[in-house]
Structure 1
Amino acid sequence: MKHFLFALLCTTGMSVTGWQTNFETAKKLAKEQDKLILLNFSGSDWCGPCIRMHREFFSNDQFTRMADSALIMLNADFPRDKKHQLSKEQKAHNEALADQYNPSGKFPFTLLLDAEGKVIRSWDGFPSMSPAGFSMEIKHLYESRNKQKNDPL
């Protein structure tokens, strides 16, 4: 039942942290709210490390608090099971994102982007750090970016 609910949340584009599924919308929100974009490539119904990352990292209380204040979450999901298939439009959108940001087809693959779509940091595979360490690293990158933005010298 838990796996069904998780897959349902991923395919609808929303979860605990409010995942977006459209890159242009994510960039617009990031600009308006002065946030960064966390883009995650996942296989919600077949990739064990992806499922584990969503469960252990993205649903972690410390992460969700940090994400609420610093991130626009963007999910590019590539489900394989027919019952979880995306619309043709969403599939094409995710494939275009993969062409641009994940041409090697790594899963999971996570990127931290600025509001223009420029890569700040990427994580290949399941992070070797703890969920708290992952959250702290992103928070530090967000705060460093804001400090540089507000201090032109």
Structure 2
Amino acid sequence: MTKKTHTLVSFYFLSVLLAFQGVNAQDSKKDFVNSEHEGWMVNVEEAYQLSEKTNKPILANFTGSDWCGWCKKLNREVFSQPEFKEWAAENVILLELDYPRRTALPAAQKQQNVELQQAFRVTGFPTIWMFDLDKPDGKRFQIQAYGKTGYAAGGASAYIKNLEKMIELKEKSVN
């Protein structure tokens, strides 16, 4: 297998079923603490519903917001920049999956984040995944992943170019 083929295959490898017990759109607001970052959702069910409605993929940021230096750097250099915010509003649904050390998350949010961390095999932070979700049985998510990245130097423009390559993979998989 060539390196290019291996890379493309790795983007499509993740198609697993994932159950979120106790996490649904009807969970009260107290079950989830909003992101401190404007435009980022924290509830995967809500992100899924918006993704279905808009036909945009989900861009998930697995982060340690209160302790991870690279996460803070990525937020400062990319996610907080107007260029990224504008691009994201047009192209993706933003989902923040936080693993703080100094702040306690509500149990439902913590459980959701741990389950997603396991499903995506995230072992380091920041890890950014782009994917679509489906619920073929109406209960469990099926994940179609298009790519992952982490911190990368170069600012918002360079980061957006990398994310656009993932969107191209999504569009090719649909056709």
Say yes or no: TM over 0.5.
yes
Q: Which residue identity lines up with residue 121 of structure 1 in the other structure?
A: G
Matched, 1:38 2:63: no
Name 2:76's counterpart in structure 1. Answer: 55
Mapped partners of 2:65, 2:43: distance in 1 = 17
- TM, length-normalised to structure 2: 0.69
Q: Does structure 2 retain, via aligned residues, the 8 Å contact 1:30–1:37?
A: yes
1:63 Cα deviation after fit = 0.9
Structure 2: unaligned runs, 5 residues or longer: 1-32, 135-142
SS where residue 20 of structure 1 aligns?
Answer: coil
What percent of counterpart residues are identical?
A: 30
Name 1:66's counterpart in structure 2. Answer: 87
Residues 92-126 of structure 1, C-alpha deviations (whole Å, 9 max, x = no match): 111111110134x2111110112433110101x31
Residues 116-140 of structure 1, C-alpha deviations (whole Å, 9 max, x = no match): 33110101x3124432111123234
Name 1:121's counterpart in structure 2. Answer: 147
Name 1:141's counterpart in structure 2. Answer: 166
RMSD: 2.0
Residues 70-105 of structure 1, C-alpha deviations (whole Å, 9 max, x = no match): 111111101101xx21111111111111110134x2
Q: Does structure 2 retain, via aligned residues, the 8 Å contact 1:14–1:20?
A: no
Mapped partners of 2:116, 2:93: distance in 1 = 16
Please list every run of at least 4 consecutive aligned residues from structure 1 whose deviation after the TM superposition is greater than 3 angstroms: 143-149
Aligned counterparts, 1:59-138, within 5 A = 59-81=80-102, 84-103=103-122, 105-116=123-134, 117-123=143-149, 125-138=150-163
* Distance change >3 Å, CA 78–CA 30, structure 1 → 2: same
Q: Which residue identity lines up with residue 38 of structure 1 in the other structure?
A: L
Name 2:35's counterpart in structure 1. Answer: 13
* Distance change >3 Å, CA 102–CA 40, structure 1 → 2: farther
Q: Does structure 1 retain, via aligned residues, the 8 Å contact 2:77–2:155?
A: no
Q: Which residue identity lines up with residue 45 of structure 2 in the other structure?
A: E
SS where residue 41 of structure 1 aligns?
Answer: strand
